[in-house]
Structure 1
C-alpha cells in the first residue's frame, strides 16, 4: 500500500479533475468534498474510486458539467427536483437540505429527484438528518441494470440501494445497503485488484456461480433474500424512479458502458422530524439503550462482537482525517492515469 494521503490533497485533486472538464468551481468543490467524505467514512467503493466513471461521462457528453438543478413541483412537505443531468451529488445534496427544511415546518419532507446521475453512497444523504436530530431515508434506482427479475434472466433491475438513519449514541444508526448480495462497486474493486468474487454474489445465465469479476457482464447479481430482495428492488424503483419520472427497468442507461446518453437517474431523500411524534430526547435515550442491548448480545462461536449499522464510522473518519487515506496501489495508478488524460497535476 502507498502512504496515506490527506483529505485536503485528495479533495484538491478531485476539484482539478472536475474544473478541467468545465465544472464550475463551487460545484466541483461540493462534489469533491462529498466524494472524499465517502472515503473518510469507509465507503471506498463510492468515493474516489468512482472518479474515472464521472470523468468519462463528463468527457463523453453524457453528463452536463454546468447543470443547474431546479424545483419542478413543490408542496409544503414534498418537492420534485430535476438534476439537469449534472453530477448526481449536486442534486442529492440539494434534495437533502430541502427535505430537512420541509421536515422542520411540516414534520416530514420527501424530495424526489429525476434527471440525476450516480451520487456516491446513499449514506451521505441520510447522515445530515441524524445530525439534525431527525430520521433520514434515501433510495435510488441503480445506475446500471445488473439484476434479473426473480426467476428470470433479463437484466432489468439495478442494485437499487437504500439508506436509513436515526440519531442515538456516539455513532448514528446508518443502514446503507444494496438490494443485492453484493454491490457492483465491490465487484469492480475486486476486478481492479485482480481478486476473485466469493460464490453467491453472481451467477451466469446457466445458473452456475460466477467468481471472476472480469466476467461480470456474463451473468447477473443475486438479490438479497431471493424473491424478497427482488420485491424490495422493485419497490425502490417505483418510489425513486417511476414516481419521479426517472428511468426504471429497460429505460435505465448503463452509466459506465454508455458515456454519451443522459441516464435520468432517479432518487429520493426523506427527513422525518422526531418531534412531530414525541420527545426527541426520549427517542434518543431509547434508541441508545436498544443499541447497547444489541451490542451486548453474546456472539455466536467464531463471530466478532455484535455491531449496530453505522458503528465505527465516526472513529474511522476521525482517524482518516488525522492520518490520511490509504489508497490501494491499483486505485492510485488509475487516478494517475486520470490526471494524465486530463493534463492536470497528479496526486
Structure 2
C-alpha cells in the first residue's frame, strides 16, 4: 500500500472509535492526536496503538463516553480525573489547562488520575514550546516491565518523560522512556518479525533477551542502571502517587487485562518563559547553544551531533505532502480491526 494521507488515517481511526461507542467529537480528537504522532515519526505510539485501544473498549476496561473533569484547582495547579476514557482526552485537557494557568501565574502544573495510555508524551509538550513556553510531561507506564535495581519483580513501568522548549529550526523536544528501549519499539519488532538488540532486556537469570516475542520472560533495563531506576521511581511518585493514581503493584497491564480500569497517572506542566525574561533572549541563547552542540567534532564513524526534536517538523511536512507510510504488518493489523468492527478497510477509505 502506498503512503496514505493523514486525513484518510484520521477518518479510519475516527470510524473505529465511533463504532465502539465513542462520541464523534471525542473520536475525532483522539484520532487526530494518534495520526499526529505518526506525522511526527513517533510510529510506535500512533496508529500502532489502535489495537490496544480497541481491545480495551471492547473489553469494557475503557469508558467510551468519558467526561474528564477537574477535581481540585488553584491558581497554578489542577488535578483532573480522566473518567477512565481514552487517555488522549484527559491529557489534551491537561495540556490546555496548564498553558492557561502559566499565562496567568507563570507556571501551570496539572496532574491526572483515572486516565489511560495517551500516546507519546511529546504531543503534550510541543504546544507549550510553540507558544513560547517550556513544556514538561511524564506518566506512569501502562504496564510494569521493569524490576527495581537489583531485584527481579516487575514493579515499574517505562515511565516516560518529555521536555520541550522553543528552539531555532525546530522546538527542542526530549521524549524518552526511563528504560533503554520503550515497550512500543519491542512490540513493533515483534509485529515485524525482527530481533531486538542485546542490552534492551534480560531474563530473570540475568542473561540477555533478543527475541521480542519472549519479552514476558524477562524485564526491561533502566537507562543508566540505578539512575534510571531512581528516575522511574521519582516519576511514579509525581505522576502516580501525588495524583492518587496507580503505581507499583497497583498498575494494571492495559494490554493483557482489557476489563480493569488502569487508573493511569500523568502530569503536564507549562512554564511561561516571559515570567523569567524575554522570550527572544531565551531563543537566541538556546540557538547559540544548539549551534555549539552541532559543531562538536563527531567521533569516528558517527554522524554529527543532532538536537533532540530536530527534523520532526520537516518530517511532519513531508508526511502531510506525501502521505504516511505504514509497515505491511501494521496495515494487516488495521485490516483485521476493520473486519472485526465491520468498517471499510484503509484501502477502501
TM-score by length of 2: 0.99
Match of 2:302 in 1: 303
The CA deviation at 1:305 is: 1.4
SS of the residue corresponding to residue 216 of structure 1 reads helix
Runs of 4+ in 1 over 3 A off after TM superposition: none
The CA deviation at 1:232 is: 0.1
Q: Equivalent residues in 2 for 1:198-209 (5 A)?
A: 198-209=197-208
Match of 1:112 in 2: 111
Q: Equivalent residues in 2 for 1:217-256 (5 A)?
A: 217-256=216-255
SS of the residue corresponding to residue 266 of structure 1 reads strand
Match of 2:67 in 1: 68
Match of 1:331 in 2: 330
Residues 207-245 of structure 1, C-alpha deviations (whole Å, 9 max, x = no match): 000000000000000000000000000000000000000
Residues 304-340 of structure 1, C-alpha deviations (whole Å, 9 max, x = no match): 1110000000000000000000100000000000000
Residues 8-33 of structure 1, C-alpha deviations (whole Å, 9 max, x = no match): 00000000000000000000010000
The CA deviation at 1:292 is: 1.1
- CA RMSD of superposed structures (Å): 0.4
Gaps of 5+ in 2: none
Instruction: Give me the whole-angstrom Cα distance separating, in 1, the residues matched to 2:128 and 2:291.
Output: 22
Residues 230-268 of structure 1, C-alpha deviations (whole Å, 9 max, x = no match): 000000000000000000000000000000000000000
* Number of equivalent positions: 346
The CA deviation at 1:269 is: 0.1
Match of 1:27 in 2: 26
Instruction: Give me the whole-angstrom Cα distance separating, in 1, the residues matched to 2:339 and 2:238.
Output: 41
SS of the residue corresponding to residue 110 of structure 1 reads strand
TM-score by length of 1: 0.99
Match of 2:262 in 1: 263
Q: 2:274 matched to 1:275?
A: yes
SS of the residue corresponding to residue 46 of structure 1 reads coil
Q: 2:179 matched to 1:177?
A: no
Match of 2:187 in 1: 188
SS of the residue corresponding to residue 45 of structure 1 reads coil
